[in-house]
Amino acid sequence: MSNSEQEQTAQPVDSEPRVDILCSVPGFSVPNPETVREKVNKSNTIFHWCGVRIAKIYPEIVVKFGSHVTLNEAKVWSLDILDYGSLFDTYIFMSFTYDEATENRVTNQLKGYIRELHEIPPNDYIGSVNFSPVADPILDGCPNQGPFSTEEAFDNALIDAYRSKVPRCHIKSFLAGMLSQNKHQIVFTHGDLRLANIMVNNGIVTGIVYWEFGDWYPEYW
């Protein structure tokens, strides 16, 4: 038996970054990631939170990118796109459209919807429908998640939740003083009313989605 060793030659691997354009409208020249990062700054950033950034890099173009941006949006648009998970960075370029009249119309619609929610005859507790615990994740992991018969009991649960996450000796007295400034009417509210949950088409609010946090809360919620 021979003990000779065989030399193995490593094959060169292309380590240069590669940009794959999975979908684009005709006539649009997709900027490369380096150009995007050069153009993005604090002044043109529209949204930046939780691994997602949206910035207006040209007068009519915004880009959405970050560690938590996936191709799910493209799939929602019924585009046949392969998703390779977190192997690659994802950049989604969109048209930027804005006019003040549309903004005012949408704002007034939302005010009306919120007013209608608040006019639902109140219950005598703070919590989810059918006298269930508070659904908001602010109380996740807390021993007392309601429902609460008084606003004071709800405030105390909020204070305990913050203390468990920010264990500073002064936080309880500070929050207690802030929460006890006023007593509020208990109203029904959506609980998570943000851009991602408001459907708009042609300048008209067509729907509000994701009601899993819809609860009875103090009116400021």
Ranges of H-type helices in 123-220: 151-165, 171-179
The pLDDT assigned to 90 comes to 79
Tokens 């429908």 map to which residue?
A: 129
Mean pLDDT of the chain: 79
Average pLDDT on 8-27 reads: 56
pLDDT > 70? residue 14: no
Q: pLDDT higher for 214 or 50?
A: 214
193 and 208 Cβ atoms separated by less than 8 Å: yes
pTM of the entire predicted model: 0.57
Q: Per the structure block, which two tokens stand in for 185?
A: 């009417």
pLDDT > 90? residue 160: no
Sign of the four-CA dihedral 67, 70, 93, 25: positive
pLDDT > 80? residue 169: no
pLDDT > 80? residue 173: no
Distance CA 105, CA 206 (A): 12
For residue range 43-78, list pLDDT tens digits in order. Answer: 999 888 888 889 998 888 888 888 787 766 665 555
Sign of the four-CA dihedral 110, 111, 116, 121: positive
Binning pLDDT at 50, 70 and 90, where does residue 141 land? confident
With CA atoms as reference, report the closest residue to 33 among 55, 65, 69, 67.
65
Binning pLDDT at 50, 70 and 90, where does residue 19 land? low
Residues facing 61 on adjacent strands: 58, 95
The pLDDT assigned to 25 comes to 66
The pLDDT assigned to 82 comes to 47
pLDDT > 90? residue 186: yes
Distance CA 96, CA 3 (A): 68
For residue range 69-113, list pLDDT tens digits in order. Answer: 776 666 555 545 444 444 457 788 888 877 788 889 999 999 999
Quote the Cα angle for 199-204-205, to 5°: 35
Q: Who contacts 151 (Cβ-Cβ below 8 Å, separation ≥6)? A: 126, 183, 184, 186, 218
Ranges of H-type helices in 57-149: 72-76, 100-118
145 and 152 Cβ atoms separated by less than 8 Å: no
pLDDT > 50? residue 3: no
For 153-173, letters b (16+ CB in 10 Å) and e give: ebbbbbbebbeeeeeeeeeee
Average pLDDT on 31-51 reads: 87
